[in-house]
Amino acid sequence: MDQDQNPTSGNGTGTAVTGAGTSHDTRTAASENAQTLTTRQGHPLTNNQNTRTVGSRGPATLENYQFIEKISHFDRERVPERVVHARGAGAHGVFEAYGKVGDEPIEKYTRAKLFNTKGKETPVFVRFSTVGHGGHSPETLRDPRGFAVKFYTEDGNWDLVGNNLKVFFIRDAMKFPDLIHSQKPDPVHNRQTGERIFDFISNTPEAMHMVSFLFSPWGIPANYRQMQGSGVNTYKWVNQAGEAVLVKYHWEPLQGIKNLTQAEAEAIQAKNFNHATQDLFDNIKKGNFPQWELRVQIMSDDEHPELDFDPLDDTKIWPEDQFPHLPVGKMTLNKNPDNYFAEVEQVAFGTGVLVDGLDFSDDKMLQGRTFSYSDTQRYRVGTNYLQLPINAPKKHVATNQRDGQMAYHVDSAPGQNLHVNYEPSSLNGLKEAPRSAPDHTPEYTGRLIRQTIDRQNNFKQAGERYRLHEDWERNDLISNMVGALSDANEVIQKKMIELCTNCDPDWGQRLAEGLKQTASGAQGATQANESKSAEAVEQAEAIAHDARPY
């Protein structure tokens, strides 16, 4: 039977046998065919691009069953290694507040206590990571780098979870599992390919800004010490009156920024595939403590129709000339972990971990991540992961949460009636804290819909970034894209040439010429040709040395 044919319709029954002897039920609803995407409940998916939100800008709603099913399954795809950010290094340190934001009193914008006094120090733990590759992958691979900071504040923990790059591939968390699947190995032959990631990107124009960074030298930082960090998402700051502004976070390395070309990274990998972990550990050990300045961009909390992009769009950068980077403090990493597993591997971050004075925006990536990250940690580390020393706040903790796997103490308060693990109670149970400042209470009106934001503008900032690159960065960008796309299906190559041309005609032309030259040099190689990979496989046997059995 032809793969596209459907043996049944409506409520018909039937089964089909596919590869590896797997049997599939082929019953379909009247509006379906064999290729119709559904949920695990069998519901046909008419919109797999957007979460359900109040208006196109959000916020998202909790009854997003389709998204929750998709993201919660994605969070559980690997045991126990992180699905993303598996390879990591970490260190302890301290954050010192400047007591101001730029030249202004910081209390004007936020009541968060960790910022409010000049010289105030807050302990931190930072985990750097690669994103798409496994726990023992080389640290020279092209990949975004994670940059996650846990602040142990006097009001409890704050996790600022971000990357080294300031933008991301997508703007809606609905697409996150698809993005990562495209970067992971093929489910049949277990190899990562450029075709997979560019198949996704070529059908996701919003990703082009990220491509302009990732396939340039910015996609391979020289080490963790000399790379920038960004919260990527848009958050809010809330002041004592409950008034809010939008805010973006940026970490600027005081050691300077260094990136590698593909050839330079390959030369390093041949000698040391742990080089970034070693660099961080060795520098801290000898007292060369790395430092970053935390800077923020501030924007009023509204839609900003004067901009040609939506400020909640994670694929965009807020122009620095309109929204300057304002320093608020400095972080110093000054102590290595005592045990890698207990600290670096078991540390758990979540974008929903905020303290008073910090709040969420309607950023649809942020809202999806806020569910996903903590859900992943409960699965990966365990229900009581917050009782581990590396994750526990350095302050009073008293909850009514009990039991669960690996519980090793009770979050009780001195003098509390331990018979009472609920609230409210008149029998000496835990009580709510008094509120010292009003909540931030934004007002929402709009229809509950699945819809992409209006101001997408997918190509402008990507083109600007291409033109801002230095010549050697542009050359490396083209070379890396040609290499990754050379074995891809022709339809994917053509789509990527078109998208690059939309960003900048020179980008598209150089990519097209590079791919044409590669195809010509291969003397008629087929679309599926994997010459470099095949050459390496054959070379391993050809140059190897014989050995006698023992």
Residues annotated as catalytic are 85, 163
CB 148 within 8 A of CB 157: no
| Cα distance between residue 109 and residue 106, in whole Å | 6
* Residue 200 C-beta-side C-alpha neighbours within 13 Å: 19
Among 161, 159, 160, 158, smallest CA distance to 112 is for: 158
| Cα distance between residue 256 and residue 298, in whole Å | 24
CB 218 within 8 A of CB 142: no
Maximum separation of any 2 CA atoms in the chain, in Å: 84
CB 57 within 8 A of CB 456: no
CB-neighbour burial class of residue 238 (10 A; exposed 0-12, middle 13-18, buried 19+): buried
CB 212 within 8 A of CB 465: yes
Angle at 231 between CA 157 and CA 121, to 5 degrees: 40
* Residue 287 C-beta-side C-alpha neighbours within 13 Å: 0
CA 217: distance to chain centroid? 19
86 φ, ψ (degrees, to nearest 5):
-70, -40
Residues facing 251 on adjacent strands: 229, 294
Sequence-distant (≥ 6) Cβ neighbours of residue 540 within 8 angstroms? none
| Cα distance between residue 417 and residue 469, in whole Å | 64
Token output for 142? 């092209």
Among 379, 397, 319, 391, smallest CA distance to 353 is for: 391
Query: Residue 423 in 3-state DSSP?
Result: coil
C-alpha dist (Å) from residue 366 to 121, 160, 170: 27, 12, 11
| Cα distance between residue 29 and residue 118, in whole Å | 64
Among 495, 512, 480, smallest CA distance to 201 is for: 495
Which stretches does DSSP call E strand in 77-226? 88-97, 100-101, 104-105, 121-130, 145-153, 156-163
| Cα distance between residue 174 and residue 312, in whole Å | 16
Residue 373 parent element (H or E): helix 364-380
Among 220, 226, 128, 207, smallest CA distance to 167 is for: 207
Sign of CA dihedral 536, 539, 540, 543: negative
